[in-house]
Structure formats: C-alpha cells, structure tokens
Amino acid sequence: MTTTVSAYAATSATDPLAKTTIERRDVGPHDVAFDIKFAGICHSDIHTAKAEWGTPSYPLVVGHEIAGVVTEVGSEVTKYKVGDHVGVGCMVNSCQNCENCAAGLEQYCLGTGMIGTYGATDRDGTITQGGYSQAIVVDEKFVLRIPDSIPLDKAAPLLCAGITLFSPLKHWNAGPGKEVAIVGLGGLGHMGVKLAHAMGAKVTVLSQSLKKMEDGLRLGADEYYATSDPDTFSKLAGKFDLILNTVSANLDLGQYLSLLKIDGTLVELGAPEHPLEVPFFPLAGGRRSISGSMIGGIPETQEMLDFCAEHGVTPEIEVIEASYVNEAWDRVLSSDVRYRFVIDTATI
C-alpha cells in the first residue's frame, strides 16, 4: 500500500514545474513518516531538473532541504515519536554497511553510494522523490532532529546549505586564530560567514563586487573585498588558512591559491561547469592544497543543527508559496535572492 500526496514536479528538462501527485511508501518497521512543512530551494534542484548533471527520470520531484513534523513511526523506531520536529537533507539511504557508513560518513558510501533524496534509485528499486511535496517516508537513520529553538522554515536550508559549509569548516579546524575566506555571498556563502564567525574564526568575504558588503559585515564578516579589483589579490597574498569556494564558476585558481598561507587549503564546494585547471607553482610554492567536500554525514549534520541552535545561527530566507516556484527558480538563476527561498508546502 502507498499514500498519495501532492507535489510540484519537473516533467522535462525544459518545461516549468507543474503540480502533480506522487506515491509515498507505507511506513516500514524502521521508517519515519512526516508532513513536510517547508522545503528550501537549492541550486542543485535546478541543475538536476534541467538535466545539466545527466538526464534524470521524469517526472521528478526535487528538494533536499526538508523540515516537518512526524506523523507516524515504524514499530522498531525508538528515536522519534509523533509530533517531533525533524528534517531530511541530501540523502535518504546508503548501504549502511561499508567502512565509511560505519564511520558516519554516509555521503561517501562505498557500497551503493549515497542514495540521494531525489532522482536516485532507492534500495527497494524505486526512484526517490524530494521535498517539493506534502509528506515523505524515510529510513530513521537518515532523519535529523530539529532543535525546538530553530523555526522549521529556517531549519530547512540548514540540511544542505548549512551542512555543506559546516563540514569543511569543522574538518579544517576553523576557529579562533584562523583566517577563513568565503568566496561568494549566496545561499551557501552566507551560511559560511555565519558559521565561521560563530566558530570564532576571522572571516573575509571575497565577492565579485561590493554590492553585498553591508550584508556580509552584518552577517559576521570581518572584512569584505571585491575580486574584480586586481589590488585585492596583491593586498591579501598569503593571508588565509582556509578558503571555501561556494561559487560554481571556474575561477583562476592560481589567483586564489596565492591568497593561502603555507599549508593552507582551498576547498571547492560549488560544482563548476568545466574541469579545474590547477597551476603548479602557486600550489607547490606554499605546500598548499586543493580539496573538495560534499555535505556531511548524518552524525555531523545533527551536530551542525545542535551547533546552530546553541549559537543562534539560521539562514536568511524568503518564504514563498508553491505556485511561485518557477519564478523563484528564475530569480535563483539571476542571483536575485537574499539568501534562500523556502517553499511553504501547505500551499501545494
């Protein structure tokens, strides 16, 4: 048996999202069912629906920043109960048996690979459908507890944008005495500023222009520079321990590597369209590193939510009705959002 719920789905790479219905499985022994209250809009949703990262199975319901309230739990579930505030991020399953899964790094699963919240083949053979919908059923191991002090609308973007920045900041030991640069002040970047500031690091925003400078400083940045100004790269040479690149454009990596201290790291978080070109001398000249990072595992995502609750860190959002989703996507593509759209799924 299944349950039918309303949703907004992509029916092709070119047509606008349209209202439809999808089926959710019955609650199994280890499942948690919850009514989705809010779903954040991530640029990844758009890339996937528009077949820019490969052709998905249509119709496809995207959305992997999901917050809601538990309506039913399976007979073996002990961690959650009806009425709890919960969330789901970018994955809903993995093999749960490999070395990485055992270490709480399910996003790097060596077995099935991480099973994405939408457009992936789940362990039962069905195609996963995401958060632009009224309800969802997920294995309890991939459900996160949302602290009571975080409103559900603001919690939703933490499940992707929040953990995408928290994980590398933690891994590379951002904190007091560390100089951290955030490249780009968008949905991801603004969370990087808030989180790095809350961790006690000195934070610099590197943005194409100074038009968001007032926002950046208000959100916790100590300094703000325009990368369109050539003087920026000479002025900041050798300054940073860690640079997190949140933009998906192909940057001149030599310029950014030159901003790192010896043993500094540049972490790629945005997925660029073309392969990265890495110049040897800026890399080797300071024993610098280029790395990448992808979301975080379930334990770390829960740690991030608890950290945000403790430090009062939440995203800047604009809540929209579901019928506005196509216009919202257009605005995301033109960078006309400060800083995350969140769908009120009661309007589906």
Quickly tell me which residue has 């969330």 as its tokens.
87
Closest CA to 133 of 50, 66, 48, 57: 66
Hey, which residues does 38 pair with through a beta bridge? 67, 344
- Cβ atoms of 279 and 252 within 8 Å: the answer is no
| Residue 1 in this model has a pLDDT that exceeds 70 | no
- Cβ atoms of 238 and 259 within 8 Å: the answer is yes
Tokens of 297: 């595992």
| Residue 69 in this model has a pLDDT that exceeds 70 | yes
Tokens of 238: 């050798």
The predicted structure's pLDDT at residue 191: 98
> Phi and psi for 214 in degrees, rounded to 5?
-60, -45
- Cβ atoms of 242 and 202 within 8 Å: the answer is no
pLDDT in tens, 141-164: 999 999 999 999 999 999 999 999
- Residue 272 DSSP SS3: coil
| Residue 346 in this model has a pLDDT that exceeds 90 | yes
CATH homologous superfamily of 162-292 equals: NAD(P)-binding Rossmann-like Domain (3.40.50.720)
| Residue 48 in this model has a pLDDT that exceeds 80 | yes
Quickly tell me which residue has 């640079």 as its tokens.
243
Which string of DSSP letters, residue by residue, matches 149-187?
TS-HHHHGGGGTHHHHHHHHHHHTT--TT-EEEEE--SH
| CB neighbourhood size of 129 (10 A) | 26
For residue 264, name the pLDDT band (cuts at 50, 70, 90): very high
Give the C-alpha separation, 318 to 328, whole Å: 10
User: Quick one: the chain helix, strand, coil %, rounded to 5?
Assistant: 30, 30, 40
For residue 124, name the pLDDT band (cuts at 50, 70, 90): confident
The predicted structure's pLDDT at residue 75: 98
CATH homologous superfamily of 3-159+315-347 equals: Medium-chain alcohol dehydrogenases, catalytic domain (3.90.180.10)
- Residue 86 DSSP SS3: strand
Give the C-alpha separation, 23 to 59, whole Å: 12
Mean pLDDT of the region 253-269: 97
Helix residue ranges, H only, 68-177: 99-102, 152-155, 161-171
Give the C-alpha separation, 141 to 167, whole Å: 19
Quote the percentage of the chain above a pLDDT of 70: 100
The predicted structure's pLDDT at residue 273: 76
pLDDT in tens, 303-324: 999 999 999 999 999 999 999 9
State the burial class of residue 257 (Cβ atoms within 10 Å of its Cβ: 0-12, 13-18, 19+).
Answer: buried
- Using alpha carbons only, give the angle 230, 205, 181 rounded to the nearest 5 degrees: 95
Mean pLDDT of the region 50-71: 96
pLDDT in tens, 214-234: 999 999 999 999 999 999 999
Domain boundaries, the chain: 3-159+315-347, 162-292
pLDDT in tens, 85-123: 999 999 999 999 999 999 999 999 999 999 999 999 998
